[in-house]
Amino acid sequence: MNIKVLGSGCPSCIKLEKYVKLAVEQLELEATIEKVTDMQDILGYGVMSTPALVIDGKVVSTGKVLSPKDIIKLIG
Amino acid sequence: MNAFNVFNDIFLKMVWLSDLVYSLLESIFQLDSESTLFGILHFFIYDTIKIFILLSFLIFLVSYIQSYFPPERTTKILGRFKGITGNILGALLGTITPFCSCSSIPIFIGFTRAGLPLGVTFSFLISSPLVDLASFLILMSFLGPQIAIAYVIVGLILAVLGGLIIDKAKMEEYLQDYVLEMRRSGDINALVILEMTRNDRIKFSFDQVIDIIKRVWLYVLIGVGIGSTIHNVIPEDVIGYVLGGNNPFNVLIASAVGIPMYADIFGTIPIAEALLGKGVGIGTILAFMMSVTALSLPSMVMLSKVVKKRLLFTFIGIVSIGIIIIGYLFNILEFIV
């Protein structure tokens, strides 16, 4: 599984990344977590509101910090 | 007294809160209600509590509406309209989308990349910090319906006209190169709009309240502090001399003072309230509020990352001239009426 956190370094983007890591650890998943910080790349996903979450190339959340519980629902 | 006044007194002006703070200071703290300290404390405590109560409710309300218009959808809507309709819609959508200048850059780039006309983007950009539903209701509470309605209408007109002028000036080439580059590669149809449930919207609105209060509380306190000082300490004739009707430069001074100040509209309202109490003209007050919110230095710095100097200065020029005209116009109108 490939998970990307989209966001240009705002505090909420950092928070989302932390929660994604937590969720992945909890589920003991084999997943790569990447950060996408370049505005052009973020827009390339069709996203304007960050932080956003992309799982295996599909945008699943935009403009909010998901809780670890919500993330587990999405990737579990 | 009609129903609106009753509503306004209880929920927006919170007259009961003013009375409560008054009697608390008088009975529990045994302060002399004629003293300056009493005046300062009353203004400070009452205004602070009132602003934070109003802010929480209003941000929640506006965010809930906002959740129907994420930037991605706003872009798609605006993409369907040409000419002045696009500018008007841009200005209107600016009133329900982000409160914060920090989100204006992604939106600017997103709009540009999606191929929206530059003028529409600027209409949105001018109206976004200047006018929104929350500030409208707070203005209503502090300064009354006339000023609130006047503020919103002239703010929207400024946004539409500013955008139109920038459109006519054909300044696309003065976007930063990397932004121009993106403009050639963008696809408006690729924008993702995710479905939201009612619970999602409630959670989003609640998060917004926390987020925005965290960001603005200090500005609000500073604003209330300055307002309280003006209200109670600075003599009326000093304020009158600098900003009053007899000084022909009143609007210019008010606008110039506003620019280096960075505050949300919420921080400027207590200052405006105090100035109004000292007999400063409505136009002068509007000019001050608009220059603080629409022309702050931090938002200029942000904007300079996406546009070249020439476009930046055109933008600053248009908005400044607009604010000054609005200021003098309202002062004259007030004088006639």
B55 DSSP 8-state letter: H
Domain ranges of chain B: 24-336
What is the span of the domain harbouring residue A32?
Answer: 2-75
Label residue B103 by pLDDT band (50, 70, 90): low
Nearest alpha carbon to residue B220 among B275, B278, B262 = B262
Phi (first) and psi of residue A55, to 5 degrees? -115, 125
Residue with tokens 């939201």, as numbered in its chain? B196
C-alpha to C-alpha distances, A2 to B55, B89, B170, nearest whole angstrom: 40, 39, 43
CA distance, residue A30 to nearest chain B CA (Å): 26
Q: How many residues does chain A have?
A: 76
Does B42 reach chain A within 8 Å, measured CB to CB? no
- The residue-averaged pLDDT of B195-205 equals 91
- The residue-averaged pLDDT of B272-290 equals 90
- The residue-averaged pLDDT of B108-118 equals 90
Per-residue confidence (pLDDT) for residue B101, from 0 to 100: 57
Residue with tokens 């459109």, as numbered in its chain? B167
Per-residue confidence (pLDDT) for residue B307, from 0 to 100: 92
B182 and A63 within 8 Å at the Cβ level: the answer is no
Per-residue confidence (pLDDT) for residue A18, from 0 to 100: 94
CATH code of A67's domain: 3.40.30.10
State how beta strands A52-55 and A58-61 pair: antiparallel
Nearest alpha carbon to residue B79 among B68, B90, B70, B69 = B90
Per-residue confidence (pLDDT) for residue B11, from 0 to 100: 77
Percentage of residues in chain B having pLDDT higher than 70: 96
Label residue B165 by pLDDT band (50, 70, 90): very high
CB within 8 Å of chain B, chain A residues 16-35: none
Q: In chain A, count of helices (H) and strands (E)?
A: 3, 4
Nearest alpha carbon to residue A59 among A67, B111, A51 = A51
A43 and B75 within 8 Å at the Cβ level: the answer is no
Q: In the predicted model, what is the mean pLDDT of chain A?
A: 90
Residues of chain A neighbouring B205 (CB-CB closer than 8 A): none
Percentage of residues in chain B having pLDDT higher than 90: 33
Residue with tokens 């009493």, as numbered in its chain? B38
- The residue-averaged pLDDT of B125-144 equals 82
> What is the complex's ipTM, to 2 decimals?
0.83
Say which range, A62-66, B280-284, B295-299, has the weakest mean pLDDT: B295-299
Per-residue confidence (pLDDT) for residue B308, from 0 to 100: 94
Residues of chain B neighbouring A45 (CB-CB closer than 8 A): 192
C-alpha to C-alpha distances, B288 to B245, B275, B303, nearest whole angstrom: 15, 10, 21
Q: Which residue has the higher pLDDT, B11 or B199?
A: B199
B71 preceded by cis ω (within 30°)? Answer: no
Q: How many domains does chain A have?
A: 1
State how beta strands A2-6 and A32-36 pair: parallel
In angstroms, rounded to a whole number, what is the distance separating the alpha carbons of residues A73 and B11?
41
Q: Is pLDDT at B127 greater than 70 in this prediction? A: yes
Per-residue confidence (pLDDT) for residue B266, from 0 to 100: 80
Q: Is pLDDT at B102 greater than 70 in this prediction? A: no
Q: Please compute, for residue B308, the number of CA atoms within 13 A of its CA located in the half-sphere on the CB side.
A: 11
Phi-psi region of A63 (alpha: psi -120 to 50; beta: other; left: phi over 0): left
Q: pLDDT digits over A38-54, tens only?
A: 888 888 899 988 899 99
Note whether B242 and B283 are within 8 A (CB): no
Percentage of residues in chain A having pLDDT higher than 70: 100
Per-residue confidence (pLDDT) for residue B105, from 0 to 100: 76
Note whether A21 and A49 are within 8 A (CB): no
3-class DSSP assignment, residue B262: coil
Q: Is pLDDT at B82 greater than 70 in this prediction? A: yes
Nearest to A48 among B110, B207, B211 (CB): B110
Does B109 reach chain A within 8 Å, measured CB to CB? yes
- The residue-averaged pLDDT of B124-132 equals 86
Per-residue confidence (pLDDT) for residue B98, from 0 to 100: 61
Per-residue confidence (pLDDT) for residue B305, from 0 to 100: 85
3-class DSSP assignment, residue B176: coil
Label residue A68 by pLDDT band (50, 70, 90): very high
State how beta strands A2-6 and A52-55 pair: antiparallel
Q: Which residue has the higher pLDDT, B263 or B44?
A: B44
Residue B192, beta-bridge partner list:
none
Note whether B291 and B126 are within 8 A (CB): no
Say which range, A6-15, B64-73, B224-233, has the weakest mean pLDDT: A6-15
- The residue-averaged pLDDT of B118-146 equals 85
3-class DSSP assignment, residue B191: coil
CA distance, residue A49 to nearest chain B CA (Å): 7
Cα angle value B173/B175/B177 (rounded, 5°): 90
Per-residue confidence (pLDDT) for residue B100, from 0 to 100: 59
Per-residue confidence (pLDDT) for residue B259, from 0 to 100: 80
Say which range, A36-50, B26-40, B94-108, B200-214, has the weakest mean pLDDT: B94-108
Note whether B239 and B274 are within 8 A (CB): no
Note whether B212 and B67 are within 8 A (CB): no
In angstroms, rounded to a whole number, what is the distance separating the alpha carbons of residues B66 and B81?
20
Nearest to A59 among B70, B192, B211 (CB): B192
Q: In the predicted model, what is the mean pLDDT of chain B?
A: 87
Per-residue confidence (pLDDT) for residue A75, from 0 to 100: 85
Give me the active site residues of A, please: 10, 13
